[in-house]
Amino acid sequence: MDRDGTSHINEEKAHILVVTYPIQGHINPLLQFSKRLASKGPKVTLIIPSTTIRFPANASTSLISVAYIPDGHEEGEILSVDEELKQFRAVVSRTLGDFIQEQVESKFPPTVLVYDAVMVWALDIAREQGLHGAPFFTQSCVVNAIYHLVHHGLVKIPVLGPFSLIPSAPLLEVSELPSLVTNTELYPVLMSMVIGQFSNLKGAKWILVNTFFELEEQVAFYDFS
């Protein structure tokens, strides 16, 4: 504290950016992660790429800041899943970069970008701005492991029969597997996006997974290389 009573604690507070893919199953875990992270002391800004969706008025986000950036989607616009994914990447790559640049030049410049793992290209944007990058996998370790094996060519797709993930686990029936590995023609761009989550992990500073560890300990520690 200065002699005039002004404190510099807030000015020195770490600032962490968190960006989520804008669908509920991704927003919820990253929102909860952001609030838990903020409870430890740093300033946390949750970034939601969305032109039309906003948090309801009663949503509890008091611990964090929430920022919205354009995603290029116009209300009432009808696109196929693959068209929407392509447009999302093209627009958000730019708007996220612009937002991070604004924050870097602000009073509280960020040092880390935690990004939804399906937005794999966000790591390049973070590093271009001098930030560390950390992917956050919203799906369970089992699903991550399946996609990881597909990415490295260790499992042939489409999977047409019972699937053994690790020796000590029971066989998984086709109905229990992610639909993208059993029907590869369903959404080819989405398939490429989820498998691509593992393409640049070596460039990440940390890797974060949304899981209940005691339920997935064997998978979490299994060597899939």
Query: Which residues are catalytically annotated?
Result: 26, 116
Cα–Cα nearest to 64, from 82, 51, 47, 84: 47
Q: How far is CA 86 from CA 5, 71, 98, 192, 197, in A?
A: 52, 11, 19, 11, 16
Q: Find all residues with CB under 8 Å of 54, minimum gap 6, and list them.
A: 68
Q: What are phi and psi of 71, to 5 degrees?
A: -115, 0
Q: Strand 43-49 vs strand 15-19: parallel, antiparallel, or unpaired?
A: parallel
Strand partners, 163: 172
Q: Which of 47, 224, 216, 18 is nearest to 136 (CA)?
A: 18
Place of tokens 């696109």: 79
